[in-house]
Amino acid sequence: MIKEKIVKRYGMGILGASTVALLAAAAFGSGAAQAHSPEHRGGDKTVTLSANLTELNGSGASGAATAVVRNQKIKHVEVHASGLTPDAPHAQHIHFGDQARHECPTLAGDDANGDGHLNTVEGIPAYGPVAVSLTTTGDTSPASVVDVARFPVSQAGSYDYSRHNIRITKVEGTGKAKDIADAIRRGEGVVVIHGLDYNGNGEYDFSNGVSELNPDLPAEATDPAACGVLQ
């Protein structure tokens, strides 16, 4: 299994503090917020959002995500994805940056090094740094950005993920928990699924070089495969 290979080779927490800081750093660019009308329940601010996930990097992946956000907590979130690398772990997050464009990146606009692929950092001006790690268990902060053992593994290229009561936390360089929650409710949160098999050999390898996040990690394991804005 690819997941076991990666966990054995790189460990469970495969990104160090420098990588977490990089992904939590403020993004570039600017963009206008999209208006949403939260449903008020007493003192709560509750809104239900959905995202249509479309492929990045020619991955062939697609899917849908929904999130119910109340105050500073994601009461419920679901991600249903297909067309992914089979039997492989796929890191997934909600990204947000107050200076990001709050959208999915494009090759035409965001391939900074011109190599024909988008890596995670090249996408930050569009979708912002990681605000929430959509892990299966345990911590959901940016500190778990690519903790391989706690992200979904696709079966035959698909997975169905759900989790309850994820607390949104303060992210250094991004904002306070309340500000991030308010931004997600406004439609500025972007769901990104990572991991794709460029050469089609059934595993993450170094055929497309190393990850910009960690030189010991294949780019295939961290490059974005699908993306959608929660609206």
Q: How many domains does the chain have?
A: 1
pLDDT for position 116: 95
pLDDT band at 1 (very low <50, low <70, confident <90, very high): low
Mean pLDDT of 93-112: 97
Structure tokens at 192: 């990104």
- How far apart are the C-alpha atoms of 203 and 87, rounded to whole Å? 9
Range of the domain at 86: 2-229
Nearest C-alpha neighbor of 219 from the set 197, 200, 201, 202:
197
Q: What is the mean pLDDT of the chain?
A: 86
Query: Poorest-confidence range of 25-34, 72-81, 152-161?
Result: 25-34
With a cut of 50, say whether residue 13 has pLDDT above it: no
Which of 23, 12, 223, 31 minimizes the C-alpha distance to 117? 223
SS3 122: helix
CA triple 168-11-198, angle to 5 deg: 85
Taking only the tens place, the pLDDT of each residue in 73-86 is 999 999 999 999 99
Is residue 64 classed as helix, strand or coil in its secondary structure? Answer: strand
Is the pTM of the predicted complex or chain greater than 0.75?
Answer: yes
